[in-house]
A and B are shown apart, each in its own frame.
Chain A
Amino acid sequence: MPDYGWPKAEDRTLIGKRITRVDAPLKVSGQAKYTYDTHRPGMLYGKIVRSPYPKSKIVSIDTSAAEKMPGVKAVHIIQKVGSTIHWAGDEVVAVAAVDERVAEDAARAVVIKYQQLPFFVSDAEPPAGAAETPGPLSYDDLADMADNQLPDPQIVSQVQQYGITFKPDADSAKSMKDDGFSESVIKAVAGATVHPGADSKPKSNFQKAAAQTIGDPDKTFSEAEVVSEGLYGIAAITHCCLESHGSISEWPEADKLFVHMSTQNVSGIAGQMAEPLKMPAANIRVHQDHIGGGFGSKFGPDRWGIATAEISKKAGGKPVRIMLERDSELEVAGMRPSAFARVKLAARKDGTLTGWQSQSWGTGGPGGGGMPPIPYVLAIPNQRKEHTAIRTNQGPARAWRAPSHPQAAALTMCAFEDMAAKLNMDPVEFFLKNIELAKPRQGIYSEELGIAADLMGWKQKWQPRGKNRSGNVARGLGLSMHTWGGRGHNSDCDLTIHPDGSVEIKMGSQDLGTGTRTCILIVAADSLGIPMDQIKLLIGDSSYPVSGGSGGSTTIGGVSSSTRRAAVDARDALFAKVAPALSVQPDQLESVGGTVRVKGDSSHTLSWKEACSKIGAMPITARGKNPDRAKPPDLTNSGVGGVQMAEVQVDTDTGIVEVKKMVAVQDCGLVIDLKTAESQVYGALIMGVSYALFEEKIMDPVTGRMLNPNMEFYRLAGLNDIPELVVHMMTGKGYDERGVIGLGEPPVVSPGAAISNAVANALGVRVPFIPLTPDRVLEALNNQDTKKAGA
């Protein structure tokens, strides 16, 4: 069994150092090619006609005028007459033409008539008692779920939980297959409990989604020394990838599809396109060099991606490019579910938390969504939780960097800070008092809290709520903690050493801008003892060995582990060929500094090139494969902790919040590249400032459409909004030996809660909902004044 273990700290020449991103020169010079930049020979341009209504039935579609327009090469109906539309902006028809302007004209010439249906886009607090327990599912319910692009495992779990209203038979199985249901759903339906004749009345918009009781909350609250209550929430936001979703499809042969796609999931797209296109996945090749942002929203081909392939076929197989317009990108291609809660906390006078009670709600679009993991980080012994999922026509939710965690942090950490304020405790002391509830990471959090407090100057700056105010300027500090799993995914890696000394790596992975390319090369180069630029790295193509999608912070563990394995195996195979030339056993060799030499004997040294010339005619290829996920990981690990602190200044006249400083202290096990790792954390803090202060998907209750699907009114933070940022990575003893753990998600979890807490500390009153926009700040201040006047 070869020793794959990470090199000892003193032997690492690249791992854990500050290495510059390898593809940065391409990006700064405009040479990096994204899907949106790709031009294929004879390429046509596609546009999509979208429903202007949030809920409607398609009554008629007339494409005749569009078809007759000069330059139009194909028209494709995506959702046929009779289909139900569940959100504004949903795809109905695609057109392809010789250039983009003609395609736009053609899209405008398509006439679609809709029957408008009642819709619901509000995620305001559900009326008391409105939430219904979901009943058995009708065939239409299942079809709606599929239309709503609910992931298969969720459909399966609902089928298993609630049963169905119809008797599954060969006919229903066939129609399910025709309607594009996956095998797993069809199988679940075949085995489901049947409730014949169950009421098939329209489902309520308010669905009881979760109810859980732990310990004895009633006794805890009746005996509580201190109880704190509050209302908290965080609005739905969008992903707003700068490169919008989209793809280029072409058919080089009648049964072979070649797709360029902006995707986080190069190896996983063909399998998702095969079923709707009714063709073998093996005949679909997917390629991507660079991606302009994904953040969790680009794992599937999407309905428009399938339509692109279909319209390309109709246009004789010619390449067709369809990239979403900015408004569609914001309306339909990404949403982080909202979450709100009324929270009640019980504690002893010394600050020890004893009880949690919450009524939460939120929307994840038509599917409703689930309850975030609350209470977050601290496992309070007595809990009662109820959650109402609101089914809305806002458009489907997608995983947004650290799914459900920023919401959980906002609901939990803000309630904790309110309790600390009620107890007149410094929040740092309050969290330390309860740190045992953060098992098993209490040690990490304690250490991080201390470091963060030092970096923030917490002791010198912190004052009780509302006490740091001069004139209309209020200042405050806040903190939040977070966690994430981040275990590496499966990621096969082929590493080839050629007889001329050149080295090549192939992996069906992708670099989202996190530094994946750089990290793969660092691991390979450190393992082989050669410079990074001597290795050719090929990623971003489905013809390379299968690698997992880049989501959930699983990539760095996945690719570093399999690259290490491939490199060690290939190196050992090289040693076996070289050993006779140096008259030693292979295990006496090492490869260091561009040489292969006998350990501890510098007189027996070959250059890397000389050593590789002993390979013979055929190159050495080793496949690195990560261990079965059922077994504990060896080179990687799971589970991190992070602490963040924010310092804000609020103008109490205008309600404008300015973040002055943020501190992030983060562990992620063994860091492969400190430079790009820190960039992940800086980026997360910046994204956090953005969603804490500005971002909100605002729905118009009258039209049911998003009011701000552009970058003027859907505001992202600009350079001017960014405070002093301090990032501290926990590395060295106690951290490195845990192995590699993902980093993308965790640091984006806390900023909203930390900033909200700082604002509460500054103002002396909680601004309940994030983003902390001036109107919300002023409303909270007004309510505070009214309360004072009334008291």
Chain B
Amino acid sequence: MYDDEDDPKHPDNGHERSGVSRRDFLKISGIAAAVPVVVGTPTVMAADTKLPVHGPGKVPMEFNINGKSYKAELEPRVTLLDALRDQFELTGSKRVCDRGECGACTVFLDGKLVYSCSTLAIAAQSRPILTVESITTEGKLHPVQQAFVENDASQCGFCTPGFVVACKAMLDQIPSPTPDEIRHHMSGNLCRCGTYEGIRKAIAQVAQKGA
């Protein structure tokens, strides 16, 4: 469950004095923590707290991606995926469905998997981001990647980076996943060419050998 979903047991009963709903407030506060207040930034009162308002124009942002620092001026509405791809040319994460359905854009944020198409760049600031590009170290493929290669787990390859990230996350957590665990962890990614057979074999290989 995502943390900005309203709790159905406690429906939102009205707005705060500022005109910012509880739901909006949760979103704002998540961003507020990640965006430094710059002098002259307009503010809004919400839940008795003065909050900065960013945008709609470009805002300076700073990211920690694959252990390196990246800076850019981006509009607050830019997704993490688009920032990675178009701003920093880290194009391993793919834009396919652009609404959290296919998993081709999967990255690690704070050590957890997220769909970067459904994460705002502004909210990902100062939090460690790891993309598929980080998985290969000094030109050497990670055992998960090696297993994908050996078991022909890619055809056109457009979904492959997302699957590699998702598989690595699963195997980091569960070195020998059961079939049910594989079902669960692989349910967030889709492939069109039909490489699932190779992916299953790759997972089995790594699970046996160890990553």
What residues make up the interface of A, taking CB atoms closer than 8 Å to B?
20-21, 23-34, 36-37, 39, 45, 99-101, 240-244, 290-293, 295, 325-326, 512-514, 675-676, 678-679, 682-687, 690, 710-712, 716-720, 722, 725
**A293 vs B154: C-alpha distance in the bound complex, in angstroms?**
12
Q: B196 — which chain A residues lie within 8 A by C-beta?
A: 686, 717-719, 722
Given contacts A33-B91, A293-B193, A720-B183, contact A27 B154 (CB under 8 A): yes
Q: A712 — which chain B residues lie within 8 A by C-beta?
A: 97, 99, 101
Whether A39 and B86, one on each chain, are in contact in the complex, defined by CB atoms closer than 8 angstroms, is yes
Whether A243 and B94, one on each chain, are in contact in the complex, defined by CB atoms closer than 8 angstroms, is yes
The residue of chain B having its C-beta at the shortest distance from the C-beta of A721 within the complex is B196
**A712 vs B115: C-alpha distance in the bound complex, in angstroms?**
14
**A682 vs B152: C-alpha distance in the bound complex, in angstroms?**
11
Q: A718 — which chain B residues lie within 8 A by C-beta?
A: 186-187, 189-190, 196
Contact of B131 among A26, A30, A690 (CB under 8 A): A30
Whether A682 and B86, one on each chain, are in contact in the complex, defined by CB atoms closer than 8 angstroms, is no
The 9 closest A-B pairs by CB, nearest first: A30-B92, A686-B194, A292-B158, A27-B157, A683-B194, A513-B156, A513-B155, A37-B91, A30-B132
Q: Is B149 an interface residue (CB 8 A)?
A: yes
Q: Determine chain B's interface SS by DSSP, over half rule.
A: loop
Whether B97 and A326, one on each chain, are in contact in the complex, defined by CB atoms closer than 8 angstroms, is yes
What residues make up the interface of B, taking CB atoms closer than 8 Å to A?
75, 77-78, 82, 85-86, 89-99, 101-102, 104, 131-133, 135-136, 141, 145, 148-150, 152-161, 164, 182-183, 186-187, 189-200
Whether A28 and B160, one on each chain, are in contact in the complex, defined by CB atoms closer than 8 angstroms, is yes
Given contacts A24-B152, A29-B141, A29-B145, contact A716 B190 (CB under 8 A): yes
Contact of A685 among B95, B156, B194 (CB under 8 A): B194
Give me 9 other A-B pairs in contact (C-beta within 8 A), A687-B194, A711-B101 excluded.
A21-B152, A24-B154, A30-B131, A31-B133, A36-B94, A100-B86, A101-B78, A293-B156, A293-B158
Measured between C-beta atoms, what is the minimum distance from B37 to chain A in Å?
A: 24
Whether B148 and A28, one on each chain, are in contact in the complex, defined by CB atoms closer than 8 angstroms, is yes
**A719 vs B198: C-alpha distance in the bound complex, in angstroms?**
11
**A686 vs B193: C-alpha distance in the bound complex, in angstroms?**
8
Given contacts A20-B152, A21-B154, A292-B157, contact A39 B194 (CB under 8 A): no
Given contacts A100-B86, A710-B97, contact A679 B155 (CB under 8 A): yes
**A244 vs B94: C-alpha distance in the bound complex, in angstroms?**
11
Q: A722 — which chain B residues lie within 8 A by C-beta?
A: 196-197, 200
Measured between C-beta atoms, what is the minimum distance from A751 to chain B in Å?
A: 10
Q: A685 — which chain B residues lie within 8 A by C-beta?
A: 194
Whether B85 and A37, one on each chain, are in contact in the complex, defined by CB atoms closer than 8 angstroms, is yes
Contact of A25 among B86, B149, B182, B186 (CB under 8 A): B149
Whether B132 and A326, one on each chain, are in contact in the complex, defined by CB atoms closer than 8 angstroms, is no
Q: A290 — which chain B residues lie within 8 A by C-beta?
A: 156-157
Given contacts A24-B149, A720-B187, A725-B197, contact A683 B98 (CB under 8 A): no
Q: A720 — which chain B residues lie within 8 A by C-beta?
A: 183, 186-187
Q: A513 — which chain B residues lie within 8 A by C-beta?
A: 154-157, 193
Whether B132 and A512, one on each chain, are in contact in the complex, defined by CB atoms closer than 8 angstroms, is no
| A–B pairs, 9, beta carbons within 8 Å | A28-B141, A30-B93, A36-B94, A326-B99, A679-B152, A682-B197, A683-B195, A685-B194, A711-B99
The residue of chain B having its C-beta at the shortest distance from the C-beta of A99 within the complex is B86
Whether B160 and A326, one on each chain, are in contact in the complex, defined by CB atoms closer than 8 angstroms, is no
Measured between C-beta atoms, what is the minimum distance from A201 to chain B in Å?
A: 43
Measured between C-beta atoms, what is the minimum distance from A317 to chain B in Å?
A: 21
**A685 vs B199: C-alpha distance in the bound complex, in angstroms?**
15
**A685 vs B198: C-alpha distance in the bound complex, in angstroms?**
13
Whether B94 and A242, one on each chain, are in contact in the complex, defined by CB atoms closer than 8 angstroms, is yes
Contact of A101 among B77, B99, B198 (CB under 8 A): B77
Whether A243 and B91, one on each chain, are in contact in the complex, defined by CB atoms closer than 8 angstroms, is no
Q: B131 — which chain A residues lie within 8 A by C-beta?
A: 30
Q: A21 — which chain B residues lie within 8 A by C-beta?
A: 149, 152, 154
Contact of A32 among B86, B97, B99, B157 (CB under 8 A): B157
Q: B86 — which chain A residues lie within 8 A by C-beta?
A: 39, 45, 99-100
**A121 vs B187: C-alpha distance in the bound complex, in angstroms?**
33
Measured between C-beta atoms, what is the minimum distance from A706 to chain B in Å?
A: 15
Whether B156 and A325, one on each chain, are in contact in the complex, defined by CB atoms closer than 8 angstroms, is no
Q: A26 — which chain B residues lie within 8 A by C-beta?
A: 157
Whether A711 and B132, one on each chain, are in contact in the complex, defined by CB atoms closer than 8 angstroms, is no
Measured between C-beta atoms, what is the minimum distance from B146 to chain A in Å?
A: 8
Q: A675 — which chain B residues lie within 8 A by C-beta?
A: 152
**A8 vs B186: C-alpha distance in the bound complex, in angstroms?**
44
**A512 vs B192: C-alpha distance in the bound complex, in angstroms?**
12
Q: A684 — which chain B residues lie within 8 A by C-beta?
A: 194
Given contacts A682-B197, A683-B194, A710-B99, contact A25 B157 (CB under 8 A): no
The residue of chain B having its C-beta at the shortest distance from the C-beta of A240 within the complex is B192
**A722 vs B194: C-alpha distance in the bound complex, in angstroms?**
9
Whether B92 and A29, one on each chain, are in contact in the complex, defined by CB atoms closer than 8 angstroms, is yes
**A280 vs B190: C-alpha distance in the bound complex, in angstroms?**
41
Whether A30 and B161, one on each chain, are in contact in the complex, defined by CB atoms closer than 8 angstroms, is yes
**A325 vs B82: C-alpha distance in the bound complex, in angstroms?**
13
Q: B101 — which chain A residues lie within 8 A by C-beta?
A: 710-712
Whether B92 and A683, one on each chain, are in contact in the complex, defined by CB atoms closer than 8 angstroms, is no
Whether B160 and A27, one on each chain, are in contact in the complex, defined by CB atoms closer than 8 angstroms, is yes
Whether B200 and A39, one on each chain, are in contact in the complex, defined by CB atoms closer than 8 angstroms, is no
**A295 vs B32: C-alpha distance in the bound complex, in angstroms?**
45
Given contacts A31-B92, A326-B98, A513-B157, contact A101 B75 (CB under 8 A): yes
Measured between C-beta atoms, what is the minimum distance from B185 to chain A in Å?
A: 10
**A293 vs B191: C-alpha distance in the bound complex, in angstroms?**
10
Given contacts A27-B154, A293-B158, contact A711 B102 (CB under 8 A): yes
Whether B190 and A243, one on each chain, are in contact in the complex, defined by CB atoms closer than 8 angstroms, is no
Whether B152 and A676, one on each chain, are in contact in the complex, defined by CB atoms closer than 8 angstroms, is yes
**A101 vs B104: C-alpha distance in the bound complex, in angstroms?**
21
Measured between C-beta atoms, what is the minimum distance from B70 to chain A in Å?
A: 15
Q: B189 — which chain A residues lie within 8 A by C-beta?
A: 718-719
**A308 vs B9: C-alpha distance in the bound complex, in angstroms?**
50
**A28 vs B160: C-alpha distance in the bound complex, in angstroms?**
6
Whether A28 and B155, one on each chain, are in contact in the complex, defined by CB atoms closer than 8 angstroms, is no
The residue of chain B having its C-beta at the shortest distance from the C-beta of A326 within the complex is B97
Given contacts A29-B135, A291-B156, A716-B192, contact A242 B96 (CB under 8 A): yes
**A74 vs B2: C-alpha distance in the bound complex, in angstroms?**
40
Measured between C-beta atoms, what is the minimum distance from A300 to chain B in Å?
A: 19
Whether A29 and B158, one on each chain, are in contact in the complex, defined by CB atoms closer than 8 angstroms, is no
The residue of chain B having its C-beta at the shortest distance from the C-beta of A712 within the complex is B101
Q: A716 — which chain B residues lie within 8 A by C-beta?
A: 190-192
**A679 vs B151: C-alpha distance in the bound complex, in angstroms?**
9
Whether A242 and B192, one on each chain, are in contact in the complex, defined by CB atoms closer than 8 angstroms, is yes
Given contacts A99-B86, A722-B196, contact A24 B158 (CB under 8 A): no
**A291 vs B95: C-alpha distance in the bound complex, in angstroms?**
14
Measured between C-beta atoms, what is the minimum distance from B166 to chain A in Å?
A: 10
The residue of chain A having its C-beta at the shortest distance from the C-beta of B165 within the complex is A30
Q: B132 — which chain A residues lie within 8 A by C-beta?
A: 29-30
